[in-house]
């Protein structure tokens, strides 16, 4: 098995808040290989977005420990110039709210070309040509005219495509996508997700897709990492995890999804709420809401162990979990 492109090991992120330290990410480990699409899924507060931002060191006022190996080098200890060479060029990121991520006073063309200028050696004409190529690649019609448009002249879906074009300009090897389609309409979401998949395929790009929607994971990802309260609950191939979940939380999450079945059937939400992260949790954080609690669950945090080929779960009751 070839070495993974991205290897995160025991990542821990603590925020310093007025109310005391908050442990947003507690010992997360994950790997992404070349060309793989990893889904990072969890409820709000699960730490998935924080994990993504910790990887590229975008967090402020946070203490980050652990290791983030990008092609063998630990990003967490790189100096600024080396980090900047990686950020944008080798590892790109797109966000949920394109209007917030795009500069409103620059045209789309200027922003794409800026990305190219920062990370490449193309001259002006070459950059322009490449920008047009990118517009075409992401499916924005009438590229030449659209390059001169400002973000506010685009619809939500178009802006997201523009953001993808800017991110892909330097031909990165890994794309980190933080809930890129949550704010979009269903048909547009579908278009953007399919676009991302096609691009990952054509460009041989790996992708980490953060979302709270299991359906999105099922449609786009090859592997999934389920997070809860800052920890990895379960990780493995999508088909395997969805058909045979081995963590009580994953099973409960799958069961709570609205699904085709008898009409007007009651939904089965997971009772209770995610735990507060400003207090240390000695055992498994899912205990208060779990239906399969064993005596050691509240006191001993279950380790992430293999339960099937390439499939790991951190649950003492793993053997008893039924989909």
> Quick one: which of 4, 157, 180, 285 contacts another protein (CB under 8 A)?
157
Residue with smaller CB distance to another protein, 117 or 195: 195
Residue with smaller CB distance to another protein, 90 or 219: 219
Q: Which stretch binds another protein (CB under 8 A): 2-10, 118-126, 253-261, 300-308?
A: 253-261
The binding track of 254-273 with respect to another protein, each residue x by CB under 8 A or -, is x-xxxxx--xxxxxxxx--x
Distance CA 53, CA 214 (A): 21
Least Å distance, CB 105 to another protein, is 20
Q: Does residue 67 bind another protein (CB under 8 A)?
A: no
Distance CA 296, CA 309 (A): 26
Q: Does residue 322 bind another protein (CB under 8 A)?
A: no
Q: Does residue 186 bind another protein (CB under 8 A)?
A: yes
Within positions 107 to 146, which residues make up the interface with another protein, using CB under 8 A?
none
Q: Does residue 91 bind another protein (CB under 8 A)?
A: no
Least Å distance, CB 38 to another protein, is 14
SS3 state of residue 315:
coil
SS3 state of residue 9:
strand
> Quick one: which of 10, 155, 291, 320 contacts another protein (CB under 8 A)?
155
SS3 state of residue 169:
coil
CB atoms within 10 A of CB 180: 27
Least Å distance, CB 190 to another protein, is 4
Contact 145, 154 (CB under 8 A): no
> Quick one: which of 158, 177, 196, 313 contacts another protein (CB under 8 A)?
158
Beta-bridged to residue 37, according to DSSP, are 207
Contact 217, 39 (CB under 8 A): yes
Burial class (CB in 10 A: 0-12, 13-18, 19+), 29: middle
SS3 readout for 80-140: HHHHHHHECCCEEEECCCHHHHCCCCCCHHHHHHHHHHHHCCCCHHHHHHHHHHHHHHCCC
Contact 9, 66 (CB under 8 A): yes
Least Å distance, CB 209 to another protein, is 12
Least Å distance, CB 162 to another protein, is 13
Alpha carbon 203 to its chain's center: 19
Residue with smaller CB distance to another protein, 57 or 212: 212
> Quick one: which of 190, 275, 293, 298 contacts another protein (CB under 8 A)?
190
Q: Does residue 156 bind another protein (CB under 8 A)?
A: yes
Least Å distance, CB 24 to another protein, is 17
CB atoms within 10 A of CB 67: 14
Alpha carbon 118 to its chain's center: 25
Distance CA 41, CA 119 (A): 31
Residue with smaller CB distance to another protein, 167 or 253: 253
Least Å distance, CB 188 to another protein, is 7
Residue indicated by tokens 């162990």: 305
Distance CA 232, CA 142 (A): 44
Residue with smaller CB distance to another protein, 97 or 219: 219
Q: Does residue 218 bind another protein (CB under 8 A)?
A: yes
The binding site for another protein (CB under 8 A) comprises 43-44, 155-158, 185-191, 193-195, 212-216, 218-219, 238-239, 242, 254, 256-260, 263-270, 273
């Amino acid at each position: 098995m070839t070495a993974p492109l991205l290897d995160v090991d025991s990542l821990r992120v603590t925020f310093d808040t007025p109310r005391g330290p908050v442990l947003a990410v507690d010992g997360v480990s994950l790997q992404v290989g070349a060309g793989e699409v990893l889904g990072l899924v969890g409820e709000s507060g699960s730490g998935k977005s924080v994990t993504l931002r910790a990887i590229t060191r975008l967090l402020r006022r946070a203490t980050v420990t652990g290791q983030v190996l990008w092609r063998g080098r630990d990003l967490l200890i790189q100096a600024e110039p080396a980090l900047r060479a990686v950020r944008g060029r080798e590892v790109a990121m797109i966000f949920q709210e394109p209007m917030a991520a795009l500069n409103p006073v620059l045209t789309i063309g200027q922003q794409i070309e800026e990305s190219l200028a920062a990370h490449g050696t193309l001259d002006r004409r070459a950059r322009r040509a490449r920008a047009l190529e990118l517009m075409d690649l992401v499916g924005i019609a009438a590229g030449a005219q659209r390059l001169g448009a400002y973000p506010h002249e685009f619809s939500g879906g178009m802006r997201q495509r523009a953001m993808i074009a800017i991110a892909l300009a330097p031909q990165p090897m890994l794309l980190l996508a933080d809930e890129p389609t949550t704010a979009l309409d269903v048909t547009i979401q579908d278009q953007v997700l399919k676009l991302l998949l096609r691009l990952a395929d054509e460009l041989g790009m790996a992708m980490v897709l953060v979302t709270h929607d299991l359906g999105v994971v099922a449609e786009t990802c090859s592997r999934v990492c389920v997070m809860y309260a800052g920890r990895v609950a379960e990780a493995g191939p999508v088909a395997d995890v969805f058909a045979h979940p081995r963590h009580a939380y994953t099973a409960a999450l799958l069961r709570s999804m609205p699904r085709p079945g008898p009409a007007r059937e009651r939904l089965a939400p997971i009772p209770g709420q995610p735990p507060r992260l400003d207090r240390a949790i000695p055992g498994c954080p899912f205990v208060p809401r779990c239906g399969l609690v064993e005596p050691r669950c509240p006191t001993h945090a279950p380790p992430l162990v293999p339960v099937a080929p390439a499939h790991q779960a951190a649950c003492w009751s793993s053997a008893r979990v039924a989909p």
